[in-house]
Structure 1
């Protein structure tokens, strides 16, 4: 399978010392995956960040904006903008948090849950294309390793 166009790099750069830097490799792989994901989600009027908020709002966790910011590692103001955008499209609602009257939780509407179901397929297809050169076993191992890095306390 051909490599994504944005994954191609000149040989002189691919053989540089930077390619021994795991953090650089993670950042480059993330940039490639993010570009593919954003391209796939564009047909649904979403980008990776808004899709992430919508997926989390569609679950049972009923996250607050603060929790979304912490989990997604975004500035709280970015999450406010993302929720505002999704709310303007009637995909999420802010509802009072039953455990803290000063806070709101973000909950997907029926339309938001429907969009997530369709957009998830586009996101998965993009992920499959980006990871096509990895075996199923390697994908599983990569997921395990990334979860260990992303959630070191667990």
Structure 2
């Protein structure tokens, strides 16, 4: 027979204080899922999702990444990156160009149309981020970003 203290509503609010609700890995995964869903909803008006937005962002930032660099940086399978680039290229948002430093590789460049779309999409992405982080102070936001960079880019 269940203990009386375990009889509560079936909603997720009661689970916040569970052992899983205190697990850092779970909290990171849950925060990512919530953030990703909100970002994809906001980016949909621009015909983008978080992954295609990420590729476009790096191309528009003049980073001139190769497909291999994109795959490593975004932690995606290279075939996923190829599909993302193919879609952006069909939409004339990016171009593949031969890397002058290594003629065997292609670098990704945003077109003028791609840069314009990225600027609009970036406004939407920032609005989502600010909405999701409305409960934290600007100092906490900075600290969170710092801590996440330490986890994302160790060493």
Indicate whether the TM-score tops 0.5: yes
- Aligned position for 2:54: 52
**In structure 1, C-alpha distance between the alignment counterparts of 2:86 and 2:13, rounded to whole Å:** 44
Which structure has more RCO (C-alpha within 8 Å, separation ≥ 6)?
Answer: 1
- Aligned position for 2:6: none
**In structure 2, C-alpha distance between the alignment counterparts of 1:24 and 1:10, rounded to whole Å:** 14
- Aligned position for 1:75: 77
TM-score (norm 2): 0.91
- Aligned position for 1:96: 98
The runs of 4+ residues in structure 1 deviating greater than 2 Å are none
- Aligned position for 1:4: none
- Aligned position for 2:133: 131
3-state DSSP class of the match of 2:107?
Answer: strand
Aligned-residue Cα RMSD (Å) equals 0.9
Consecutive unaligned residues of structure 1, counting only runs of 5 or more, are: 1-8
TM-score (norm 1): 0.92
Matched residues, number: 145
**In structure 2, C-alpha distance between the alignment counterparts of 1:121 and 1:134, rounded to whole Å:** 20
1:22 is aligned, of 21, 24, 27, to 24
1:149 to partner: Cα distance: 0.6
1:138 to partner: Cα distance: 0.6
The structure with the largest alpha-carbon Rg is 2
3-state DSSP class of the match of 1:39?
Answer: helix
